[in-house]
Structure 1
């Protein structure tokens, strides 16, 4: 997955797309029977490949008398733009991207499923430094405005450096970063994610300075839907949630069915069994709805969203019209609102997960 928060150059196009999506909301509000869900190739989303191939998704959709088409896409930003425009009904994103793309673009967006959080998949690598404090005054290569950028800022904060510009973030694409780090002596420090970092750590002298396990829960992967679509079509969310936890139960239990699921995920990711396991090992899956519900409703979750929104505003990712970090309202699971209560565009909705907890799907 290209785990990208949109850059400033995308703002105009995404805002325009959000206006198109807003115009379509009235048409989407009526109950419907056919839905599309998009996801990209990333470990936290790969159970969807098994949900599709095994027929689990169809079984749950049939239960509610609907159709749910699961679409694997190679274009992460393109998939989010399709969601904004109303061409798909739900999309898997890093939580920060849901806030800065559809929500910041004016689309009332809800998180209805949390799949996992990065528990070591994202990391800072250096050829020369042995401590995060040594990054002050240094160039650090990363995909700007992505979770890598967020990770760098949080690492600096954890090291007692509260100036987000203390280390200079140098933008480089995810397609280039691994090869550049390996081949260019001048490139000393970088931030990326697995599997890219596996080869980067093989460079002589390369050291892991910090990883996402040190900020547990902050780099979340979620599925979002438009708030009105979920409200008018609750069976859609119920079917997706039910299929998800059935698949996760198989992955957790192992055995023959678990191996079958792993094989599907491995193939979909274009890796091998070892590569899959390496990524599972540093991904905190929410294997049960109870675990997910507890995480979403914990007071700490609101603190995480506060940290995310602060980073996004400081980086200018709320758009030119945003005058403060409170410009966009975020309704957390308790019903409390971070920011403008009159402009709530991101909602953490644990209600469908709670139905799974209570066995009411």
Structure 2
């Protein structure tokens, strides 16, 4: 009887744990993630959640890395982040995560800036301020490769993104690597020179909405509602009419700039307004190659965890194949829900 009671309690507990109707996602300020602010404010997310008889709370977190940490700790079911950070924080931390929406890739939104110098090669011997072990650090490494330099040829100083603009204004800081809108603000200085940007490595810094794989598997309507809402927002935003202007004006205000400033950031972002555009990148064999490069960089810099024996320690599943340990897959690029959007089946 005791065993029967325990079994019954276990069934009740697990049923309660898996049968969910309320979810939370978080986002931070970035040109490619501002649509979530608009979608929440305009009731688009609620509309799609209602369609599937669920609730989705959309929460802004002011600190980007902190938002990912909170997701990794289980405070949120989904979070906006780049492909590299998805690998090095939740996936490397053992949280099985799925890239539900491939929203865009940086096509100039991330850059290397020198003060009073015109060439990337001039970075040799300099001190470079950036958010260490972030996509800025990855961009720097890829930039150095193009001019035959390495990190041994300079000194990296870890600097919070909240401090980069003010730090750049001091006389002893001569180089920074950062992303928009900080990049645009720094480039307003007359002695600033953009010597390398992410347009030189297209498709490598990818902006995602990542969700917990187990939550998604147990609650597919959660994925359907998010993807449905996203592409409704994209349809509004990508049009050339007053509604699009209004939407982008809202996003500009919410991110601390004006419409012209936000449009400038969009110009250096390869937004995937249509699901077929996102699917083209997700299904491409290049994605697997990109993630291998990211994993190798992350391993070389010790951010796959102390126990990682090699760059393939964390398995990464893409439609064109798996990179890394197939028995330890913790990051998945799953095109299923984006394909449903493309097929009009949401």
Normalized against structure 1, the TM-score is what?
A: 0.88
**In structure 2, C-alpha distance between the alignment counterparts of 1:57 and 1:322, rounded to whole Å:** 38
| 1:107-118 equivalent positions in 2, closer than 5 A | 107-118=95-106
Partner SS state of residue 323, structure 1: coil
1:240 alignment counterpart? 226
**In structure 2, C-alpha distance between the alignment counterparts of 1:164 and 1:114, rounded to whole Å:** 30
Residue 314 of structure 2 corresponds to residue 328 of structure 1: yes
The structure with the largest alpha-carbon Rg is 2
| 1:4-19 equivalent positions in 2, closer than 5 A | none
User: For the structure 1 residues 340 and 240, does the alpha-carbon distance in structure 2 shift closer, same or farther, using more than 3 Å as the test?
Assistant: same
The alpha carbon displacement at 1:206 in A equals: 2.1
Partner SS state of residue 208, structure 2: strand
The alpha carbon displacement at 1:104 in A equals: 0.5
Residue 50 of structure 2 corresponds to residue 62 of structure 1: yes
| 1:247-262 equivalent positions in 2, closer than 5 A | 247-262=233-248
| 1:1-361 equivalent positions in 2, closer than 5 A | 30-161=18-149, 163-184=150-171, 186-334=172-320, 336-361=321-346
**In structure 1, C-alpha distance between the alignment counterparts of 2:231 and 2:119, rounded to whole Å:** 40
**In structure 2, C-alpha distance between the alignment counterparts of 1:263 and 1:136, rounded to whole Å:** 41
1:151-185 residue CA offsets vs partner (Å, 9 max, x unmatched) = 11001112233x3433321222222222222231x
RMSD: 1.8
Normalized against structure 2, the TM-score is what?
A: 0.92
8 Å contact from structure 1 (residues 156, 164) kept in 2: yes
**In structure 1, C-alpha distance between the alignment counterparts of 2:261 and 2:16, rounded to whole Å:** 40
**In structure 1, C-alpha distance between the alignment counterparts of 2:293 and 2:14, rounded to whole Å:** 33
Structure 2: 5+ residue stretches without partners: 1-12
User: For the structure 1 residues 193 and 28, does the alpha-carbon distance in structure 2 shift closer, same or farther, using more than 3 Å as the test?
Assistant: farther
The alpha carbon displacement at 1:275 in A equals: 1.6
Structure 1: 5+ residue stretches without partners: 1-24
User: For the structure 1 residues 246 and 32, does the alpha-carbon distance in structure 2 shift closer, same or farther, using more than 3 Å as the test?
Assistant: same
The alpha carbon displacement at 1:325 in A equals: 0.7
1:132-166 residue CA offsets vs partner (Å, 9 max, x unmatched) = 223233322211111111111001112233x3433
